[in-house]
Chain A
Amino acid sequence: MQLKELKNKSDEELVEIILKDKNIFPVLIERYQNKLFRYIKRISNLNNEDIEDLLQEIFLKVYKNLNSFSTNLKFSAWIYRIAHNTVISNYRKLNCRPKEIYEKDNVQLWDKLIHDVNIEKNINNDFVKKQIFKVLDKLDCKYKEVLILKYLEEKDYKEISDILKKPISTVGTLLNRARKQFKEIVEKNNIKF
């Protein structure tokens, strides 16, 4: 099969093909390697080398467990779940507070959050980025996790539910509490955007 044809296949179709021919697996890896790299960077304090090692472990797990994937959920939710669980289980005492904000994050992605918590923002994006970092640093890990999935990874409630293996109602509650805590931190610390 031509590479172009493969790149047009859905994730679920690719899984079926990979199970018959492992040489197609790199197509799926290339589809997700950057996304998962960014995701791990956002939820951990690992350096690039460690993230790459972890990604290797994640993709090997994905390959071994391909037969457990079911179309009851989206493939992206399934692979994010494996990534999330691998990060948590490998680094149990992981400090979920990164030393620095991920530079490639587009601050526009955080606009929606700032809008959702009714905070006024000025137009200086670098400044906004630094302020966001200040707030994130103070958030509980479980709230930071859902904010990242919702606003940076742009996952919907159902996908977040499938990634974290929590009921959709719980995801909604976590997001509400996360936004509330975000706003409280902003107000308490007199942080300006």
Chain B
Amino acid sequence: MIDKNFSKKILNIIEEKNIKPEPKWKFKIKEFSIWFLLLCSILLGSLSVAFILLEFFNADWDIYTQLTDSFLEYFIAVLPLFWIIFLIFFLFLTYFEFIHTETGYRYNFSKILIINIIISIFLGSAFYLFNFSHYINQLTLNYLDHENRKYLTPREYIWFNNINKGLLAGKLVKVINSHFIKVQDLNKEYWLVNIDNAKIIHPEDIYLNSFIKIIGDIIDENKLRAFEIRPWNQIHFHIFIEEHKSQPLFIR
């Protein structure tokens, strides 16, 4: 069957060509890299869950009739499609990376996917509750223009396009006095807002330079009379937000 000197022939080749076993550290680095990428994928998948939760829990379900013609239209408008696709991508990437670990191939697709979904929901919820998604959302509102943002925060689009209905969203830049505030809208224009008759929803979540949503009437060019003011995002566990160490702005 095989040449009887086959094993010696192999040894000769090893000696002639000075072949050596690859060092252990190379395999350790490869293994470490796979686990590192796997962890990154899980974290990014979890972050997209945090953004999905942010969009879902801060959508204006109670006033959708003022924003769109029907619930279905509003639901489709605020659906965070970008983050859902992002999550699906990272779920599959995590699966692919896991099966390339030393023993990951032993587990079937559905088991890996289910465990991954559970971890993403658990971690994503933690990221949401500890305001990571809120913080990143604020950064995008401050530093990205509307065109680049619209896929990240779809609910913004409705507010952006409905100023003529008295729907103003923007950054609270100044509390002038107990009657007026100054707001910079999502188009970077400034508005003077009368708050005499405004109902404040979740005032503990509103602070200087935070983003807010205002429902009211346009009374003049760049002037609005507010009926309701609400924060752009609800904030949980205020200890992590620096601004909340100071007094809340609206004490009624």
**A residues in contact (CB < 8 Å) with B:** 19, 22-23, 25-27, 29-30, 33-34, 37, 48, 52, 55-56, 59-60, 63-68, 70, 72-73, 161-162, 165-170
A56, A59, A73, A161: most-surrounded residue (chain B CB, <10 A): A59
A residues in contact with B2, CB < 8 Å? 33-34, 37, 52, 55
- Count of B residues near A, CB < 8 Å? 28
The 5 closest A-B pairs by CB, nearest first: A26-B7, A29-B7, A167-B108, A165-B105, A67-B24
- Additional 17 contacts, C-beta under 8 A, given A22-B15, A63-B10, A68-B27: A19-B21, A22-B11, A25-B10, A26-B8, A27-B7, A29-B6, A30-B7, A37-B1, A55-B2, A56-B10, A60-B19, A64-B22, A65-B21, A67-B23, A67-B24, A73-B103, A161-B105
| Residue from B19, B21, B105 in contact with A67 in the complex, judged by beta carbons closer than 8 Å | B21
**A169 and B10 contacting across the interface, CB-CB below 8 Å:** no
A-B contact pairs, 27 of them (CB 8 A): A19-B21, A22-B11, A22-B14, A22-B15, A23-B11, A25-B10, A27-B7, A37-B1, A37-B2, A48-B1, A52-B3, A52-B6, A56-B6, A60-B13, A60-B19, A63-B10, A63-B14, A64-B19, A64-B22, A65-B22, A66-B21, A73-B103, A161-B105, A165-B99, A167-B106, A169-B108, A170-B108
CA distance A30 to B8 in the complex (A): 10
What residues of B have a CB within 8 angstroms of the CB of A166 in the complex?
105
Known: A52-B3, A65-B22. A60 touches B14 (CB 8 A): yes
* CB interface residues, B 149-174, toward A, < 8 Å: none
Q: Does B9 interact with chain A (Cβ within 8 Å)?
A: yes
**CA of A50 to CA of B13, assembled, Å:** 18
**Distance A67 CA – B2 CA, assembled complex (angstroms):** 27
> Which single residue of chain B is at the shortest CB-CB distance from A169?
B108
**Binary A-proximity of B1-40 (CB < 8 A = 1, otherwise 0):** 1110011111101110001111110110000000000000
Residue on B with the closest CB to A26? B7
Q: Which residues of A contact B23 (CB under 8 A)?
A: 67
Report if A33-B7 is in contact (Cβ < 8 Å); known contacts: A60-B14, A161-B106. yes
A35: min CB distance to chain B, Å:
11
B107 at interface, CB cutoff 8 A: yes
As a 0/1 sequence over residues 195 to 208 of chain B, the CB contacts with chain A under 8 angstroms (1 = contact) are 00000000000000
Q: Is the interface of B mostly helix, strand, loop or mixed?
A: helix
Interface residues of B in 71-127 (CB under 8 A from A): 99, 102-103, 105-109
Most buried by A among B15, B99, B106: B106
Q: Complex: how many Å from CA A72 to CA B2? A: 31
Mask for B41-77, Cβ within 8 A of A = 1, else 0?
0000000000000000000000000000000000000
Q: For B103, give the chain A residue with the smallest CB separation.
A: A72
Across the interface, do A25 and B19 meet the contact criterion of CB distance under 8 Å? no
A70 & B102 in contact (Cβ 8 Å cutoff): yes
Q: How far is the CA of A37 from the CA of B3 in the complex (A)?
A: 11
CB distance from A124 to the nearest CB of B (A): 26
A63 near B19: Cβ-Cβ < 8 Å: yes
> What CA separation (Å) do A85 and B173 show in the bound complex?
64
CB distance from B38 to the nearest CB of A (A): 17
CB–CB A59/B10 < 8 A: yes
Residues in chain B near residue A64, CB distance under 8 A: 19-22
B1 x A34 contact (CB < 8 A)? yes
Point out the residues of chain B lying under 8 angstroms from A165, CB to CB.
Answer: 99, 105
